[in-house]
Structure 1
């Protein structure tokens, strides 16, 4: 283990998220979205070696209200958007999977049981995913997308907002 590399990596993650946070505060319409400050997020999970593992250490994250969390873990830069079950349809699912191929879908309550996992499931049809969602007792589903850089994450967030408005998934 190289402590210097770990130190520089973690500093870059935090700096990238602070920078993205400031950019989004200036760019997103305040009357629709409120960008909260960056915080230390605890209790998150990371997908390693085919399973979800608890992160006992903090990572940088912030909320874009309503419904979006943005952050970075050692695995990736990410956003998670909470979507009420009744607002999820095949069109939204298909476009989400097309735009965000590195994604996960899971319930808000039972978040360790994936409905969709890009690392495990490969190409699954939106119809199959929708059937799992409709058959679930969950009332809200988390749609997570992973990115390799904060720049790609920012573009993803802007796309998500456009798609979310189009399919009316947000409580605006």
Structure 2
């Protein structure tokens, strides 16, 4: 997984600046959480990750490949939630402060509507939300990043 993240990082460094993004170097990240047997558990080991600025983290854990995008609450709309879930069915949505209490979790909430998710978001009191998508491969992650960029531009999520 480390090798695939380094490969993807180098590839994105050559492609994303023309889209207005800056790709940072890969780092070993400590203190992250992984969803295991119905709850979020802290990983006690590093995993490879890097940032795509503004606001995207990309990485890999033993659970697979992922990206997380931070979205200010005022920019979260029902249309964005609906499109995100349609594009990225293996996803989680959680606040940046109370991140262990997710608003949406693909492993248990598959019949929740975007309207219900938006209600939970509005009731949460959080100011920033993390939209995370999971992938089975680095190539799937790469594809997902480009779909995310299109989606983010469409809903004016990025400050670029």
Measured against the shorter chain, the TM-score band is over 0.9
Compute the displacement of 1:120 (Å): 1.0
Residues of 1 paired with 2:143 and 2:105: CA distance?
A: 21
Partner residue in 2 for 1:7: none
Specify the structure having the higher radius of gyration (Cα).
1
Compute the displacement of 1:123 (Å): 2.2
Residues of 2 paired with 1:67 and 1:134: CA distance?
A: 21
Partner residue in 1 for 2:113: 125
1:98-113 superposed matches below 5 A: 98-113=86-101
Given the two structures, how large is their TM-score scaled by the length of structure 1? 0.91
- What is the number of residues matched between the two proteins? 160
Compute the displacement of 1:30 (Å): 4.4
Task: Label 1:49 to 1:31 Cα distance change in 2 as closer, same or farther (>3 A).
Answer: closer
Residues of 2 paired with 1:141 and 1:171: CA distance?
A: 15
Compute the displacement of 1:29 (Å): 2.8
* Correspondence 1:147 to 2:122: no
Cα RMSD for the two superposed structures? 0.8
Q: 1:115 aligns with which of 103, 112, 117?
A: 103
Output one character per residue of 1:15-43: Cα deviation in whole Å (capped at 9) or x when no partner. 00000000000111346100000000000
Output one character per residue of 1:70-127: Cα deviation in whole Å (capped at 9) or x when no partner. 0000001000000000000011110000000000000000000000000011121100
Given the two structures, how large is their TM-score scaled by the length of structure 2? 0.98
Residues of 2 paired with 1:171 and 1:44: CA distance?
A: 25
Task: Label 1:147 to 1:31 Cα distance change in 2 as closer, same or farther (>3 A).
Answer: closer
* Correspondence 1:44 to 2:26: no
Compute the displacement of 1:139 (Å): 0.2
Moved over 3 A (4+): none
* Correspondence 1:165 to 2:153: yes
Gaps of 5+ in 2: none
Residues of 1 paired with 2:17 and 2:25: CA distance?
A: 16
Residues of 2 paired with 1:30 and 1:81: CA distance?
A: 19
* Correspondence 1:24 to 2:12: yes
